[in-house]
Structure 1
Amino acid sequence: MDAGADEAPLVQVEDESGEKDLDAALRCLEGFLALLGFPDSSSRVRLAASWAAFLLLGVAVPSAAIGLYQCSHSVCAEYKVHQFELCVLLSQVLLAAVSLACISRNLLKYGIRRFLFVDQHHGHVERFQKEYVRKIQEFFHLLVRWILPCFIVMTVRETVHFMHTFHQSAWRSTAVLMASMLSWVYLTIILLSACLLFNLVCNLQIIHFEDYGKFLERDVETFLCLEEHMRLRFYLSKISHRFRIFLLLLFLVVTVSQFVTLFQTTGYSGNINFTNAGSLAVSSVVQVVVVVLCLNAASKISHRAQGISSLASRWHAYATCCPIGSQMRTANGSGNIEAVSASSFLRDYSESDLESLENVATYNNAQLTSFTSYHKRQALVIYLQSNPGGITIFGWTVDRTLLNTIFFLELTLVLFVLGKTIVFPSL
């Protein structure tokens, strides 16, 4: 009695500590987003202020920097200053505007907790608090990991660029350089943060899908498995609905920007080097990174959702075919028979793990399944196979099949453009 009484306060203290850590992580994330201009409340004043800051730092400042950029006609013609810089600025502004508009709308409507599906009303928060905190911390780690190398390369490029082409006073050159870098960092962080938020939402749901796979390792009612899967599928539908416009516009703007960049570089007769086209290279890298982050998160959670039906089929077959009263038996290296639990057999093994189970002799389950329970499991398996779930964009599931289609489509278009723009002289 005393041990049980001591355990209860300990568990309560751990839950309270985990809730405090989660609240601190959410406040940190919310404050960071508010600093970038994403509104954290329903205040129209804050929303207007965020767009005013965007127009100032993202549009007015870089436009003024390009306007102040003055060089001789021969230098400008050699380095294609305005043509390349305007292309980079336009693509950055469009992508940042799409990110700011879509994410701000969701944050204003749902708040940070409901937006990330870690609200208390959604349930299961207490069991996953540590995983939630770890995923939120990974958000900041990924942001720093991607923005830092691009920032270093962009700083070096801008410095070399101004040293070669900007023939004005040192103060004016420094002011234009700082304004250009400030605008670039602001627009790039907004874009990366929006894509990493989508990545974070998907990763938080992957935690629930991994936990759902463990349902089949326990003696759980079939109706509870069905109810939990319907809840997870409902969350995936809400995520798809909230981010479909953002993903569609993101892919569209990035694709158009890449083709415009391709036309500019292949149609330019002069020399293209790090000085005049370095910003195009850095901008292209950032755009590819954000597309990869979004596609990777969407395809990963779609793959987990579609893999549930395979796991349920294995569980159904094992529970149906194996009689009562014993465990699966395997032969070890010395020829002795060792028992393997049913829960270990139901886990999702990798190829290396499956090699250790090649010598399976006989296997039995731990419970007698009645005719009624068989039909319940069969109905659940059919439901899971017919409703795989995943992230969708207006009905198109973002999975590995769609990724292959996008890759071959983009490759075909790129080869077509190269065939039209690269012309070899006749011999």
Structure 2
Amino acid sequence: MADPHIQIQTDPPPAQTPLLNNSNQNHTQLPQQQQQENQIPETDLDRTLQKLEYFLTFLGFNHSSVLSFVLSWTAFLVTGVLAPVVILELSNCPGCEKGQIKDFELCIVASQACLAAISLICMSHNLRKYGIRKFLFVDRHSGHMERFHYQYIQQIKDSLRLLIVWSLPCFILKTAREIIRILYVHHESWWQSAAILFALILSWTYLSTISLSASILFHIVCNLQVMHFDDYAKLLAMESDVVVLIEEHMRLRYHLSKISHRFRIYLLLEFLVVTASQIVSLFQTTGYGGKITFINGGDFAASSVVQVVGIILCLHAATKISHRAQNIASIASRWHALATCSSADSSQLRVSNSFGNLEASSPLNSVHMNYSESDLVSLDYVAMPTNTQLASYMCSYHRRQAYVMYLQANPGGITIFGWTVDRALINTIFFIELSLVTFVLGKTIVNSN
């Protein structure tokens, strides 16, 4: 009895050695997995995202380090705020109202700086928190990158092309206005006038590009998700498993909720800043006693176009994806109706075929059946499905019905604190803007009288 007891104490537990080996293997496998992820070959989408990230870094959206944060806000304050304010203060001269109105110019700089600051804060926060891939929902581990590889690239290029298309006319308008303004606001030398012209155009272009780039980023995110909703509509024609369809729709709704959560502050603040800027501009233009021309008030047109374009890009992208998400319910209802009708037609076809086969194969039996039983009884006997077939058909029907009811109760879409961004909200925004403009005009007319 002593020898076995000694062996039990001296021998190590057999279960501990595999656990130690497994833990060591897990620690050694982690670096190997990281090396395998780093060894994934670079694709065209990777290069496109890298170029987009370089462009955003150049504009100051990359706040991944303290140095980049300091450089970004230093460039913003110097180029976007201090430079135009100092130039406007130093170039103030008596009799220059034909070329520029100081209060108008300062108001425009303030509104543009506020809108650009909101864009910079909101977008840089999301990019720093999620990275460019998760921010755009094109993560390589999501399983959808290979399917939509070229569509992602094309959509990013189209959105950046849209940025150029909208920025170029505004830049031309601003440049033409500044060149004409220089002819009326005289300086000591032409070199000084050229330097002021370049500084004002650079500052305005920098602020406008930041605000429009933020709208373009939201436009890219929404349009990339539109591809998935279009693909989901095609999935209804190929997939009959309701559980798979519901799981895929839940994934799409999760992405929409994440997009709404990330951009709701930005969309709300952008709408408020643009509205406040338009109201202040309307107050200033209607309350000014002098003559307003394109030369001294042209910046209102250029800045208003940039602000309105940013709002239109955001609302159009949000409305587009909301309509695609809400349209899934109608597509699923049509799919459910077609599946139900085709199931009924196929069951009737099977009944008629089986009855015809019985008559063709055994005419004697059919004659005997006609004489021994009534036609109704014999037909019911042939047409009546089994309990298993009936249960399967009813189960499939109820699953499709539950799926359609689920889609109708969960339409989805981009939301701002519970308000879905669709055509109804766009009409509401339009009438709010119209009411504000009418109110301001009424106040200015009363004050002028």
TM-score, normalisation: structure 1: 0.83
Find runs of 4+ consecutive structure 1 residues off by over 6 angstroms: none
Q: CA deviation at 1:424?
A: 11
Aligned CA distance change for structure 1 residues 424 and 84 (closer, same or farther; 3 Å): closer
Give matches, 1:408-427, under 5 Å: 408-422=431-445
Task: Tell me if 1:20 matches 2:40.
Answer: no
Q: CA deviation at 1:142?
A: 0.7
Percent identity between the aligned chains?
58
SS in 2 for 1:220: coil
SS in 2 for 1:370: helix
Give matches, 1:26-425, under 5 Å: 26-39=49-62, 42-71=64-93, 73-76=94-97, 81-322=101-342, 323-325=344-346, 370-422=393-445
Instruction: Decide whether the 8 Å contact of 1:61 with 1:183 is kept in 2.
Output: yes
Deviation string, structure 1 residues 294-325 (Cα, Å, up to 9, x no partner): 00000110011011111111111111123354
Between the aligned partners of 1:312 and 1:35, the Cα distance in structure 2 is 45
Query: How many equivalent pairs are there?
Result: 367
Between the aligned partners of 1:108 and 1:424, the Cα distance in structure 2 is 49
Instruction: Decide whether the 8 Å contact of 1:70 with 1:166 is kept in 2.
Output: no
**Unaligned segments of structure 1, at least 5 residues:** 1-15, 327-366
SS in 1 for 2:95: helix
Between the aligned partners of 1:292 and 1:325, the Cα distance in structure 2 is 50
Instruction: Decide whether the 8 Å contact of 1:161 with 1:275 is kept in 2.
Output: yes
Q: CA deviation at 1:178?
A: 0.8
Between the aligned partners of 1:383 and 1:158, the Cα distance in structure 2 is 57
Larger Cα Rg: Structure 1 or Structure 2?
A: 2
Between the aligned partners of 1:405 and 1:88, the Cα distance in structure 2 is 26
Q: CA deviation at 1:420?
A: 2.1
SS in 2 for 1:422: helix
Deviation string, structure 1 residues 211-248 (Cα, Å, up to 9, x no partner): 00011111331001000000000000000000011001
When you count helix as a share of all residues, which structure comes out higher? 2
Deviation string, structure 1 residues 370-425 (Cα, Å, up to 9, x no partner): 11111111111111000111111111111111111111121122112112213699
Instruction: Decide whether the 8 Å contact of 1:391 with 1:398 is kept in 2.
Output: yes
Letter in 2 for 1:261: S
Between the aligned partners of 2:448 and 2:439, the Cα distance in structure 1 is 19
Between the aligned partners of 2:255 and 2:448, the Cα distance in structure 1 is 58
Instruction: Decide whether the 8 Å contact of 1:68 with 1:176 is kept in 2.
Output: no
Instruction: Decide whether the 8 Å contact of 1:38 with 1:50 is kept in 2.
Output: yes
Between the aligned partners of 1:406 and 1:195, the Cα distance in structure 2 is 18
Between the aligned partners of 1:261 and 1:144, the Cα distance in structure 2 is 26
**More deviation, 202-211/43-52:** 43-52
Which residue does 1:357 correspond to in 2? none
SS in 2 for 1:258: helix
Instruction: Decide whether the 8 Å contact of 1:139 with 1:200 is kept in 2.
Output: yes
Which residue does 1:355 correspond to in 2? none
Between the aligned partners of 1:219 and 1:324, the Cα distance in structure 2 is 20
- CA-based RMSD: 2.0
Q: CA deviation at 1:79?
A: 5.3
Between the aligned partners of 1:67 and 1:168, the Cα distance in structure 2 is 15
Between the aligned partners of 1:390 and 1:265, the Cα distance in structure 2 is 39
Q: CA deviation at 1:80?
A: 5.5
Q: CA deviation at 1:117?
A: 0.1
Between the aligned partners of 1:138 and 1:219, the Cα distance in structure 2 is 31
**Unaligned segments of structure 2, at least 5 residues:** 1-39, 348-388
Deviation string, structure 1 residues 329-370 (Cα, Å, up to 9, x no partner): xxxxxxxxxxxxxxxxxxxxxxxxxxxxxxxxxxxxxx9971
**More deviation, 46-55/242-251:** 46-55
Between the aligned partners of 2:394 and 2:231, the Cα distance in structure 1 is 28
Between the aligned partners of 2:312 and 2:136, the Cα distance in structure 1 is 21
Between the aligned partners of 1:220 and 1:62, the Cα distance in structure 2 is 62
Deviation string, structure 1 residues 142-195 (Cα, Å, up to 9, x no partner): 111011111111001001012112343211111111110110111010000000
Q: CA deviation at 1:140?
A: 1.6
Between the aligned partners of 1:156 and 1:199, the Cα distance in structure 2 is 29
TM-score, normalisation: structure 2: 0.79
Between the aligned partners of 1:209 and 1:259, the Cα distance in structure 2 is 38
